[in-house]
Amino acid sequence: MYNFENKYRAIRKVWALSAVVLISSCAAKPPQETGTFKSSDLVELKRLDPTIQLDIRYATSNNFAGRPVYSEAQAFLQRPAAEALARVNKELEPLGYRLLIFDGYRPWSVTKVFWDITPKAKREFVANPKKGSRHNRGCAVDLSLWDIAAAKEVQMTGEYDEMSPRSYANYAGGTPAQRALRDLLRSKMEQNGFTVLEAEWWHFDFQGWKSYRIQNVPFNKI
């Protein structure tokens, strides 16, 4: 079985030694973007559809940074993406599942922290802050499936934020049941305007993400 603790311990060590990282991340600024953008209309997912499940790992220590990077356990997306997600959630219900959200809109400063604490060899799993993340635009979501009858998260081919080939959307390992659940999530999301990230089965971008700006607004200012 994949050893999560070892992975997190190594990253925590980097974090503990890098107080400088935090200071530089706070001082750094998001990339300047030119062009025309839609105005931001971030919607809290739970308000739109209270049946959507949340497990906001970045508001806890149960994440690859080993410490909370959000002060509120909330998830936001731009309105069209949020509405599409609510449709996916409705379509899953008759099949016995709901959506379980790990993350949505992410302030740019958090993307910078993730980049700075991630070893170079693992940076395919984090966004380069020079370009920003689609999460910073409020058009990307990290999620899994929630089993309604069992009242728990389903078992996918790998864990959320695992930095290994098990995270690839086309990873051929795991059990047939795990692959079927991963592919069910993907097909429902694709039918509603989302595209999976090939390196991460849990990450989806919403169509038209380029029309929204990179933002650095904290949750409590939305």
Question: Binding residues for Zn ion, per CB under 5 A?
Answer: 142, 203
* Shortest CB 43 distance to Zn ion, Å: 18
* Shortest CB 200 distance to Zn ion, Å: 6
103 appears as a binding residue in the annotation: no
The Cα 25–Cα 212 span in angstroms is 22
Nearer to Zn ion, 98 or 203 (CB): 203
183 appears as a binding residue in the annotation: no
* Residue-level length of the chain: 222
The Cα 193–Cα 22 span in angstroms is 36
Nearer to Zn ion, 182 or 203 (CB): 203
The Cα 88–Cα 192 span in angstroms is 7
Catalytic residue among 44, 91, 162, 200: 200
| Known catalytic membership, residue 198 | no
* Shortest CB 50 distance to Zn ion, Å: 23
Residue 115 near residue 123, CB atoms below 8 Å: yes
- AA identity, residue 59: A
In the three-class reduction of DSSP (H, G, I as helix; E, B as strand; rest coil), residue 59 is classed as helix
* Shortest CB 117 distance to Zn ion, Å: 16
Nearer to Zn ion, 97 or 204 (CB): 204
Could you tell me which of 58, 159, 175 has the C-alpha nearest to residue 114?
A: 58
203 appears as a binding residue in the annotation: yes
In the three-class reduction of DSSP (H, G, I as helix; E, B as strand; rest coil), residue 125 is classed as helix
Q: What are phi and psi of 42, to 5 degrees?
A: -75, 130
Nearer to Zn ion, 112 or 203 (CB): 203
Strand pairing class (53-54; 97-103)? parallel
Residue 95 near residue 188, CB atoms below 8 Å: no
- Annotated binding-site positions for Zn(2+): 135, 142, 203
Q: Which residues are catalytic?
A: 200
- Annotated binding-site positions: 135, 142, 203
